[in-house]
Structure 1
């Protein structure tokens, strides 16, 4: 491959999520037009040489771009930028959340969405919504009391808030997260003492019950404050974990 083709890549610094870094770099070059529709990507070997990452990382990154519709592959010819590389859908997959920094970015996004959703839910919720939220909250309480992660129950409770907005687009957007919005591998419950786990469960219960109570009572400002406080505290805990493991 010619040197000018190598120029589209910069050496990627070694980091916990190399696949994501390479995929993000390629995505940025496609979206900026540096890699144009129909253009053939350099070979796997050329990318490895230019970036310093392994063949496995290159293949995983290209697979991620194919899944997003940004590139296509042709047997015996290699990978090409799609003729219409604009992503048609947004998704967050588990491999995107292999570092605490990525988790924090998702929490920032969630805060923007759920802050507004909690306020709308407080204004628009029906009794059916409250019953659904109570059911999801009870399931979360039970999971936490039993010492579990409660990831699925947490997701179900937060999704019930978005459903209560009476705007189906909120729920559809939230479905792009699924229950990986806070990956289990970052909860680190197995590293906690029994007392720490109990304090964690009690804190989670208090925060979720405060959100529920505000929506139930149709208190829009309180609902917004409660969801922002909950997600901000979650972000702070992840920042502490990141700093402790840096």
Structure 2
């Protein structure tokens, strides 16, 4: 097809996200013009070397972004008005993009952790403590603790009692879930590293427990800076 790239996609964590990014690039470059109909699922599947369910999920992502709209009986079309929502598609291959993403994440998470320390209630603190304990259990059972890690940070977001931090944090989590999973799985390769990460979590918890916003901010920044470094090491030396 002349309006989309015909290069197949290497298998990775999320084919649908990658396909959505490729289609979006074709739209933004003008290869598929606003108001024009998208190629069929079969055509897109052949172009990218993926199944039709993957194409359907990718198109669903573009529809949720408002970049693609459906017309019953006619198919999917590029929205003439463009995307209507904020987008975030990190690339593991683009190191500069990855660095920019982490700087962005740090700015959000650090501010949220500071506000959580100031605003948290006793029940909020209990929830954070519970998920910190869940991480300890995951470490003892030699599991990667990805879900427990996300629950810990999610509980901190809820402790801000700020709807914007909570909803945007959920958006970030859904968009960078693979990034979080890769960083955590990389950490799980070394018991020493696992314990260092858990020590960072404990420092965050202690600052929130003490309602010390300044130390909570510093502990979150230290943890996320280290997380970025751990991911960079993995990406340079994958096994």
Q: Does residue 59 in structure 1 map to residue 55 in structure 2?
A: yes
> What's the offset of the Cα at 1:222?
1.4
Contact 1:97–1:183, Cα closer than 8 Å, also in 2? no
Q: Does residue 146 in structure 1 map to residue 154 in structure 2?
A: no
Task: Pick one of 197, 206, 216 that aligns with 1:204.
Answer: 197
Q: Does residue 234 in structure 1 map to residue 227 in structure 2?
A: yes
Deviations 1:206-226 (A, max 9, x none): 010001111222222211111
> What's the offset of the Cα at 1:243?
0.7
Q: 1:188 to 1:120 in 2, by over 3 A?
A: closer
Larger C-alpha radius of gyration, 1 or 2?
1
Contact 1:40–1:80, Cα closer than 8 Å, also in 2? yes
Number of aligned residue pairs: give it: 231
> What's the offset of the Cα at 1:10?
6.1
Structure 2, unaligned runs of 5 or more = none
Q: Spell out the pairing of 1:20-35 with structure 2 (5 A cutoff).
A: 20-27=17-24, 30=27
Q: CA RMSD in A?
A: 3.9
SS state at 2:218 partner: helix
Contact 1:151–1:182, Cα closer than 8 Å, also in 2? no
For 2:111, the equivalent position in structure 1 comes to 116
Normalising by the residue count of structure 2, what TM-score does the alignment of the two structures yield? 0.73
Distance in 2 between the 1:124 and 1:85 partners?
38
Distance in 1 between the 2:108 and 2:206 partners?
19
For 1:214, the equivalent position in structure 2 comes to 207
Task: Pick one of 123, 126, 129 that aligns with 2:121.
Answer: 126
Q: 1:67 to 1:110 in 2, by over 3 A?
A: same
Normalising by the residue count of structure 1, what TM-score does the alignment of the two structures yield? 0.71
Q: 1:36 to 1:98 in 2, by over 3 A?
A: closer
Deviations 1:11-42 (A, max 9, x none): 76966667545533543565688855532235
> What's the offset of the Cα at 1:201?
2.6
For 1:136, the equivalent position in structure 2 comes to 131
> What's the offset of the Cα at 1:64?
3.0
> What's the offset of the Cα at 1:204?
1.9
Task: Pick one of 154, 157, 164 that aligns with 2:159.
Answer: 164
Contact 1:155–1:181, Cα closer than 8 Å, also in 2? no
Contact 1:103–1:182, Cα closer than 8 Å, also in 2? no
Distance in 2 between the 1:33 and 1:14 partners?
21
Contact 1:130–1:216, Cα closer than 8 Å, also in 2? yes
